[in-house]
Amino acid sequence: MSEHLQFANHPLMYIVSGIGIALVLVQGTYILRKAMKATKELNMDQKRVKKGLRVAAMASIGPALGIVGSILSLIVSLGAPVSALRMSIIGGTNYETMAATFGAQAAGGELSPMMDPTVYANALWTPALGVIPWLVVTFFFGHRMNIINDFMTGGRKALLPAVSVGAMLGSFAYFVMNNVVKITINPSYAVASLSALVIMIICQKFSDKYEWLKSWSLTIAMFAGAMFGMFFV
């Protein structure tokens, strides 16, 4: 076993990581309960609320399974407990891998299954310290989001849904087009994105006839697009 893996898979590491994961579960449950309480105080249609929760849960399956492949590389280099903790807190393998790689390189090594313990420690600290600004901003400004919302909409709260949808569509469009323009460099990305687009349109076309497609269209499009893209790897 590599020297750093003796630390990475130590029982104490499982205990500490387990505490962090438990904290995430507690916070998530607390926020969900507060949100459900708020829907009743606002006299929202509970059937639509439950449908929204169901659709969100189904739509999260695709993105969650999408990181399964890339998390294996983190487990090999950082160990299972730390990888589980980082995915529970952040959930973005791209950031975790990039930050851990930078940390290992700064210590004079590389992110790999064979690392010096000092390099390994640096690879752990870098992604952990990198998320501190997000936590600080959330702590100091999270409860003042109404001020930011009023500023963005010019005081017209009816525009807030349009601004939110526009931001989401813009981010999706950026990531999709970023893959499409690389068709000559990495055709599998472009084919996967375009295939998913076509499949999503087809799912939406038939969603009026088959109600369940509205909940599963995103997951179906992501998996089908990835399968088509595999033919061009």
- Whole-angstrom distance, CA of residue 109 vs CA of residue 115: 7
Confidence at residue 152, expressed as pLDDT on a 0 to 100 scale: 67
- Tell which wins on pLDDT, 80 or 167: 80
Give pLDDT, residue 187: 86
pLDDT for residue 198: 92
> In this model, does residue 66 exceed pLDDT 70?
no
Q: Does the pLDDT of residue 15 top 90, yes or no? A: yes
Closest CA relative to residue 176, chosen from 203, 156, 196, 206? 196
Tokens for 206, please give them. 């038939």
pLDDT, residue 2, reads: 61
Give pLDDT, residue 70. Answer: 65
Alpha-carbon 127 to chain mean position: 15
Q: Please give the share of the chain, as a percent, with pLDDT higher than 70.
A: 92
Q: Mean pLDDT for the chain? A: 82
Query: How distant, in Å, are the alpha carbons of 11, 37, 45, 48, 143 from that of 40?
Result: 44, 5, 8, 12, 21
Residue 146 pLDDT > 90: no
Quote the pTM value.
0.59
- Predicted confidence band at 202 (pLDDT cuts at 50, 70, 90)? very high
Q: Residues 155-175: what's their mean pLDDT? A: 77
Average pLDDT over residues 55-80: 75
189-210 mean pLDDT? 88
Q: What is the largest CA-CA distance in the chain?
A: 61
pLDDT at 153: 67
CA distance 203 to 201: 5
Q: Is the pLDDT of residue 211 over 70?
A: yes
- pLDDT for residue 148 is more than 60: yes
| Spatial separation of the C-alpha atoms in residues 9 and 12, rounded to whole Å | 8
Distance, CA of 155 to CA of 176 (rounded, Å): 32
CA distance to 5, 101, 177, per residue, from 121 (Å): 11, 12, 37
